[in-house]
Chain A
Amino acid sequence: MRYSALSILKQAFAGNLGWKPVWREPEPKAHYDVIIVGGGGHGLATAYYLAKEFGIRNVAVIEKGYLGSGNVGRNTTIVRSNYMLPGNEPFYEFSLKLWEGLEQGLNYNVMLSQRGIISLFHNDGQRDHYIRRGNAMMMEGVAAELLDRETLKGMLPFLNFEHGRFPIIGGLLQRRAGTARHDAVAWGFARGADRLGVDLIQNCEVTGIRRENGVVTGVETTKGFIGCNKLALAAAGNSSRVAEMAGLKLPLESHVLQAFVTEGLKPCIDHVITYGAGHFYISQSDKGGLVFGAEIDGYSSYAQRGNLATAEHVMEEGVTMIPGLSRVRVLRSWGGVMDMSMDGSPIIDRTSIENLYLNCGWCYGGFKATPASGFCFAHLLAKGESHHVARALRLDRFERGFPIDEAGAGTQPNLH
């Protein structure tokens, strides 16, 4: 069923009894051209673009839980392309451009809201760094604006400008950045892929990767063996565990990242704001809740729940930036398992094993990348070569000495 204003009107008069399930629940076939492991944002986007852009429709997405049960529904929904390094910026800008046409393409409302992101800075050195980042963005054709303190005071009067240790002296603004409804992104890609013939197989865990003469021929699952020509891993926080089934050791460590939402408030925060004195980011959802988060907890974790000390630290950062937050009640917090890579940047590449392809290392920046990650991974699977904006995101960049270290933190996964 194609959604339109007319379909909503029709259903309204028909008592909303005519809505159909959005995707099928097929049994797995014996063999597919491509099997994608992981029914999250990236896996579903890969399937959608494989079918839509590259004409490969004999595709299955295998998910051990339900679709979108991982990080695509656990993030703070921020979409932006204000990166600095040449290996990253064109990729994330490509992603933002895909976001801008996504709803029309999917015929699904992902509630993309380009409200702008403002990154605050607090001292001269940090201002210079943000100017450099803004210039790097403009060199890739991405607009960036430097805001001074007085402009910011007019736009965001609720900020703590006079803080003794971290006074706010300005901010870097990307107007095209914003937020999207994260669950709707997963559902939209799932529906889009299903409509093009992709089989979405839920509650089916991959238990082994079968190889013959070193070549991958399929996966063992809880629903039996399923054969494939190409196997594509998009398992996020569980990437190391799936790759281990094929004997691969990855440059990843899994960590937990927490996020929080408050009770619903009237509209008060109109942008996405990030704090330069910590790693705090906040926006307001369409329901009115303030959605915010900060850094990872810092220890290896496969648990989708975090530590109270980190929660306390996040609250302290929030209240330091916006003192009024101290009067708001937090409703919920949750955690997601992040595939932290050794340089803080992702990997979209083939592996040393024939027919096995890898999409991982998204750290805690995977949501904004969802469309481009799917597009570029599909490009790699269909054409056998990297999309030109994803050429730097190679698996062998570590051993060759070409890390993409946006934070400049070195090979320490818990510091990115």
Chain B
Amino acid sequence: MIQHDVVIVGAGLAGMRSALEVCKELDVGMLTKVYPSRSHSGAAQGGIAASLGNSESDSWEEHMFDTVKGGDFLSDQDAVEEYVKAAPRVIYELEHMGCVFSRTPDGKIAQRSFGGHSKPRACFSADRTGHAILHALHEQLLKNAKSVKIYNEWYMHALIVDGDRCNGVVVSNIQSGEVEVIQAKAVVFCTGGYGRVFKITSNAFASTADGVMAAYAAGIPLEDLEFVQFHPSGLYRQGILFSEAARGEGAYLLNGNGERFMKEYAPSRMELAPRDIVARAEQSEMDAGRGVDGKDCIHLDLRHLGEARIMERLPQIRQLGIDFLGVDCVADCLPIQPTAHYSMGGIPTDLHSHVIIDAGGTRMNGFFAAGECACVSVHGGNRLGTNSLLEAVVFGERAGKSVLEYVAGIDHGNVNEGREKARVLKKFEDVFQRDGSESYNAIREEMKEVMMTHCGVFRDAEKLNVCIETLQGLQERFKKGKVTDKGKLFNTEIYEILELGNMLSIAQLIANNALQRKESRGGHFRTDYPKRDDVNFLHHSMVYGSQNGPVVKPKPVVITKHQPAERTY
């Protein structure tokens, strides 16, 4: 059995920031199913929000209001307040760690505009901000290599829970196929999102809900799963991201008639309205037959920005267009469509990143979560661009600090190594022994398709019921899948199957939550209930596992400064 003081699962921004905090005093094991530098945080392009006021005066109060309004008043405002207040400090810390930022002429960190933010507050490094921060944190970990052991290409299967306490994780080494138990006084999940359940997504292949489903399987409820963000500018058919920074720098959105259609949907903010609103506007245009050439796509027009500006601020986007489409955005428009991008919901935590197990905020001892896999909730019903990198860094650090506090004076809990290992080995055995005829690929494709068409930008009861039924059918077929590779060495097929299992489960929970929320708020839009309903639904949804399937219960929203008001832009 492997033993560490603390084990952190996931090595993106939240995981690494948390590790840096914990490793000051304790011995850390950090697990990633890829390599830290390959984490999906690195794909974030446009920026990280903080009210530095480097190009226009700004304040945390304004940042807070924008975030709460952007989240359609479902954010917990106590958490938002602490989060936006911490923002400038964490940015300065990143800068001191060596993070590379684009600069103003007088050498300060440059800031640009972003959707839903009333001030230019996105600090950025050209259009690869996530990459810059990810590498800066990775550098710091390499510097602290003595107290952080990184397990590259290891997979986390299960959380070890004993009553009200979490004692470690069951994992396996992808290269050797060996199953191991890691015993730890505290476990931190920074396992990211689960956008891969949708057909069109900006998410990496690795974003498959392993963390959230391991928590759910261990009896932890999940919060606000119905709130999935569709980013307005995914590359047509591929879904990969063209940063909102393009619109932040002044790009237009055009429908098939060449019109800037945002004037019909958000006249004051136009292309820089929050993402849920822009994505819905695009989908409405396409559904009304006003897509480009009648197809399911919209044009992102950067031509008027000029080559020099594009090369300075958006070089990666230009290259992506050239590589993936043969389209140079200096001369032509980029075809885009809404793409599943970010999961507002996840593992419920308090504002100290401690995982909670009910609406009253009861803590699960020794279990922490931060980043996209967690739901604090600062984003409410819809996250503003550049707020996710900030969330990962702020709450990653908080998770680290909370762990230090929690672990002081605590010993390792009891772990029955044999039993825990056997549990996971049986999972492997189950998959290997299935001698079915079903294609896992077909199951995955059908799941992604039905989630996109029936649980996507626009939802209704009928669609959602079909979706849930279809997913149930897929679950049955999943049990009769056919596996080709039965070896232990670097068996990526078996891990894809385990990931698919997690995705089928989270997809069902998302659709089920969406069916129960009979209103439209933020990223969740019901065409059969097109209005926000504060009387009946101004609350978070907590889904609990039970013998009879998932049970959804409300959890109150914390409202301090801003009473819910109509949300127009």
Co-assembled chains A and B: no
> A residues within 8 Å of B by Cβ?
none
> B residues within 8 Å of A by Cβ?
none
